[in-house]
Amino acid sequence: MEVMLAVLVVALLSAVAVLSFGKSIQRAKAKAVVEQIRYVDASARDASKRFGRSVTIVIDPVEGTVSRRQVSEIRYRGRIEAPYRIDEVRVGDRRATDVVEIECSEMALSRSYAVHLKGPGLDKWVVVAGLSGEVTEANDDAMVDAIFESLAPAPARGDAD
């Protein structure tokens, strides 16, 4: 009876450890997906400055890839591994679930864009500021809308007499 009780306690402790460890792994994988977007943007900006020519960031939600293309050659391609996925990409007013290309100029400037990532423990927007390359993580559409509205140019004011 004591042996059975000891085995039961060990089994329960093992189950708790596995569940606890599983959540840590899930968080680490979700963070790696976000870092993939950060890396592609930063490497595109770095390459455009270093070589003095534009570089294109290619985001393909269907294939689940993020790439850096220089001239016509893919120099880097990363895959967002299942069960994680790119749900949507937003560039300005355009919302896309297909291939999006964002040009990064030779001065390391691009349009601002946002990538919606989903998966276990992950439902997050990664917003990249085009002028600075600063990355912000947003948890909902309203926050992304507010960020893009703040980036929109103010309407021209006419002199009213």
What is the separation of C-alpha 144 from the centre of its chain, rounded to a whole number of angstroms?
13
For 27-66, what is each residue's pLDDT tens digit? 888 899 999 999 999 999 999 999 999 999 999 999 999 9
161 band by pLDDT with thresholds 50, 70 and 90:
very low
Identify the top-confidence range among 15-19, 125-129, 150-154, 156-160: 125-129
With a cut of 50, say whether residue 19 has pLDDT above it: yes
Q: According to the model, what pLDDT value does residue 156 have?
A: 56
**What pLDDT does 91 receive?**
94
Burial (CB count within 10 angstroms: exposed 0-12, middle 13-18, buried 19+), residue 29: middle
Identify the pLDDT of residue 2.
84
Contact predicate 94/65, CB 8 Å: no
pLDDT tens by residue, 113-123 = 999 999 998 99
The pLDDT > 70 percentage for the chain reads 93
Helix, coil or strand: residue 49: helix
Whether pLDDT at 152 is above 70: no
Whether 155 has a pLDDT exceeding 80, the answer reads no
